[in-house]
Structure 1
């Protein structure tokens, strides 16, 4: 027996972080979650799986219109014609209280009750599926304790949308522990809510498949679902299915030993080319390039971030413009002479030393920091979204961390002026 376990599909959820840029793949961003789900359905049919489980967050909240629901019904119709049933559990994003629009689903789609745990049996396969959908978005109680005992003689699958031991990056909905899941004595737990793949194989096999399609730079790497195979001896094997249609990646470029912006740009180009060459299939990548390390180029990079971005875009154009898009270039370098600058300039007695000392004092001057925040807060909160996304330092203003802003400006400015001198 084989089935597909997916979760956190977030149909029609927008992909964030690229739309502000002129060269962004607008159509791909708009349709990525649909295309990934269609690929999942096609794969289920090609593999002739026995059924599919969706463990919550099929949707991303209530629909803007009925097109989201109509699209899902169309895809379920494909599975219906192939004789593949679907067992659907609602999570926090598609909880009963969140959805103001609904459509009748094809009869091969079986949804778990929001009132109490519900069991579906597939007698021909000797499979029992147990699940409890979210009625409200913020379900903070442990749902597992009410799940029924396993059905004797059947392969028992628990379907649950949960933070599982308080996953740090996700709201603590339906919290429970791995030990509690094992204690139910089900063979397999099909989980959702946590967007990263995870597996535990002991008394039960417990799996988060991760989300189907990465939506922001915080969701890097390969994404998809899992194909679960169960032998006659009830041995379970789990195979990851990578079906994302656009992949987010974070590329780090160590600028240590590089002296100029041009050298840094070429190093970024080599790193991006290696990323494309290493991909197991020709999936487009949305990339954040972070420049790190202590480098003589620090001042030049600090003063010419717009030029650096253009140089990296030129590298991308030469490599594979239809498979790479730039989300952001983040400069996080340090001046290679930082310690010498801090010590020497303090005793230098010249204009550069005076500036350095003044900026040091400014970092701890509450009146100056308050004035700076007053001057910048309107820009930080009301500037166009593309400007806010392209100037990450505005986050310091919104967060009230003006000392950090001054510190970063100081190191870059002093390095740039020292280079010029």
Structure 2
């Protein structure tokens, strides 16, 4: 008989909202509950596939915010697996080590939590008698600057060996270094499968041995866009491993860019946006599609779009609402007006001012210094982790200041353009 298991990581149960753009209370509630739905769907998959085990490679919780309600929900789901005779193997990641649940929650008997240096656990014997052993190392502290690989036992002889490790590998943009190691080092250790966690993007790093970072099963904001999955692994009686990706996420975040070039009026703009949203919704495999819409292109509507962004958001949100499970969390406007003189009988003073701002003011050394100083003051009001994400170095800070200045000047120019926004439509 083969050994089959589901490999997941980074559920971040009951993670607080990370997107300030989720102003829609109904959408906000959906995102809040999505991590719980992901866990329930993972358990459903385990039951439907009659697997032998569920492997959770760290960050089951989301740090110190976790409540006892989270613990009760988790326990109820794990008991569903216990009733079906399905084992759960769990390691603690950096977020788990910050959670009180790590110290207080008593798991059902089917759950094995690996410690800092634990012996391998026999999970099953294959049809030919060859045993499957699972190894794992948990984080004791929120930070693990050194490799944990030396703490693993060597492979059990004449057995299938599966290792569980929460690691940033050699480093990934947007992720702090945790238990750093390399794919080559993992391969040399001699295990047949490495069940990794920590990086939220799925990647199969090696087929032999099989080394999988499953990604997270549910995205929480636009920076965790795309379908989210878990990995179903089968260890055959001959020891050969196969793997399949299964989509789990209830809600999928996506970015979409819509070119409005040639759109002459408000109705044409809405028609183009509506067609794009409908196409994306038809292609989405998740229950809910949450979009960040970027409007680009050269159109006489450019200033009108900027002049009344709240009305624009309401209009496009209404389009999405008619598509059953389609949401718009934010609209970015990057349209440009038609050059002065090409479609007008004479020079447009606001267009001339816009050109002056872009070519002279924003590019000047004095302005860049002033903008940088204002940005530095604003960044000091933010938590360190968010500061690093927005402006981790001098070049990133400069790009952010430039983008903010350009967006702000365009918003001001939109109002200077005049015209009654309601009448223009």
TM-score bucket (shorter structure) = 0.7 to 0.9
Q: What are the superposed Cα offsets for residues 64-123 of structure 1, whole Å, 9 maximum, x if unpaired?
A: 432212221111111111101110000000026775751211111001112x25311125
1:144 aligns with 2:144: no
The aligned residue for residue 423 of structure 2 is none
**Cα distance in 2, alignment partners of residues 351 and 300 from structure 1:** 13
Cα contact 2:191–2:209 (8 A) shared by 1: yes
Give 1:102's aligned residue. 104
Shift of 1:287: 1.2
1:21 corresponds to 2:23: yes
Query: Residue deviations 1:356-391, cap 9 Å, x none?
Result: 53675443373797499779978x979xxxxxxxxx
Q: Deviations over 1:176-195 (max 9, x none)?
A: 11111111121110000011
Displacement after TM superposition at 1:418 (Å): 7.3
Task: Give, in whole Å, the separation in 2 of the partners of 1:312 and 1:303.
Answer: 15
SS of the residue corresponding to residue 62 of structure 1 reads helix
Q: Secondary structure at the match of 1:138?
A: coil
**Which residue number corresponds to residue 395 of structure 1?**
none
Question: Which residue, 284, 291, 300 being the options, matches 1:287?
Answer: 291
Alignment partner, residue 66 of structure 1: 68
Residue of 52, 55, 62 corresponding to 2:54:
52
Residue 277 of structure 1 deviates from its aligned partner by 1.0
Q: Are the counterparts in 1 of residues 290 and 329 from structure 2 also a CA contact under 8 Å?
A: yes
Q: 2:15·2:62 contact (CA, 8 Å) conserved in 1?
A: yes
Q: 1:132 to 1:332 in 2, by over 3 A?
A: same
Ranges in structure 1 where 5+ consecutive residues have no aligned partner: 383-391, 393-398
Q: Give the conservation status (yes or no) of the 8 Å contact 2:63–2:99.
A: no
Aligned length: 397
Q: What TM-score results when the alignment is normalised by the length of structure 1? A: 0.83
Tell me whether 1:244 sits opposite 2:249 in the alignment.
Answer: yes
Report which stretch shifted further, 9-18 or 210-219.
9-18
- How much has 1:303 moved relative to structure 2? 2.1
What residue is the counterpart of 2:356 in the other structure? 357
1:124 Cα shift? 3.0
Question: Distance between the aligned counterparts of 2:137 and 2:371, measured in 1?
Answer: 53
**Which residue does 2:386 correspond to in 1?**
none
Q: Report the Cα distance in structure 1 between the residues aligned to 2:371 and 2:285, rounded to whole angstroms.
A: 52
Which residue is 1:128 aligned to?
133
Q: Does residue 230 of the first structure (1) align with residue 235 of the second (2)?
A: yes
Q: Unaligned 5+ residue runs, structure 2? A: 383-389, 391-396, 420-425
